[in-house]
Chain A
Amino acid sequence: MILDYLILSFTLMAIGIYGLVTKYRLLKTIISIEILATATTMNFVLLVAASGQVLGETLLILAFSTDICVSSIIVALLVYVARNYGTTDIRELAKLVKDRQTNEDNQSANSEVR
């Protein structure tokens, strides 16, 4: 029964990786990372529950707090990017960064010519 949960968590992990690979919006990236984190903690929790060790369950606090830290940092970056660039699409962001770089290169070339 416990190792059935391994299949469940691997399926969840596959869904999270699918979301990371195919979706280009930053919010979807966060959701995919959350699903990945849920899958990995699920492995841990259910094996600990099977072994009956409470010490393992205390380790979960570490996993959960790490998960909170990662997602809070990503949310802060998401808000920062959305305010500065006006979009959360990764492809559009890449385009904007590329355009900005070419503009800067052109400006520096012009100033050198002058």
Chain B
Amino acid sequence: MNNMIIEILAIGLIITAFLAINLDNSIYSVIALGCVLIFSSLLYFFNGAFFAAIFQFAVGAGTIAVLLIVSETLDVQESHENKPKLPIATIIVAVLFSIPVLIFTVPVIQIIPEATTGFPYDLWDFRSIDVMVQGIVILIIAVGMVILLKSQKGGE
């Protein structure tokens, strides 16, 4: 049952990835990208990587919100014609691409799990400097983006 769910998620992942790239309407393609991120999050969840699933979901939600706003802005600016055509060919190609995931199997090397202390301990004992540096980097990038957009507004 679990395997079947995972296979359905894998097929959905590939189909939505294809749609995200091939759909003409930017908003639809961003929504398809959101589906890609949700499917990958569910895939992580069913494989026992709960923290990764939560992170992926949170990051995906933020990314999709920003991209939806940007794509709506760009659609208004470009005002291109939206041709409502059914992407059947895209879906067929995507299904063909997902066949290898279902058919081919590679022998698995069994990895013995090591004794660990838990996620919070590992995060703060081994990765505390990384986390701090990441916070600083994200802050610098946010400030840089504000400066970039403000200077551009000032130039106008």
* Chain A residues within CB distance 8 Å of chain B: 1-4, 6-8, 11-12, 14-16, 18-19, 23, 25, 27-28, 30-32, 34-35, 38, 41-42, 45-46, 48-55, 57-62, 64-65, 67-69, 71-73, 75-76, 78-80, 82-84, 86-88
Contact = CB atoms under 8 A, between A and B. Distances in A.
Contact of A88 (B37, B78, B145): B78
Contact of B106 (A3, A27, A34): A3
Interface of B: 3, 10, 13-14, 17-18, 20-21, 26, 29-30, 33, 36-37, 40, 43-44, 47-49, 51-52, 55-56, 59, 62-63, 66-67, 70-71, 73-74, 77-78, 97-98, 100-101, 104-108, 111, 113-114, 116-119, 122-123, 126-127, 130-131, 134, 137-138, 141-142, 145, 148-149, 152
B73 A79 contact: yes
A27 B13 contact: no
Contacts of A64: 55-56, 59
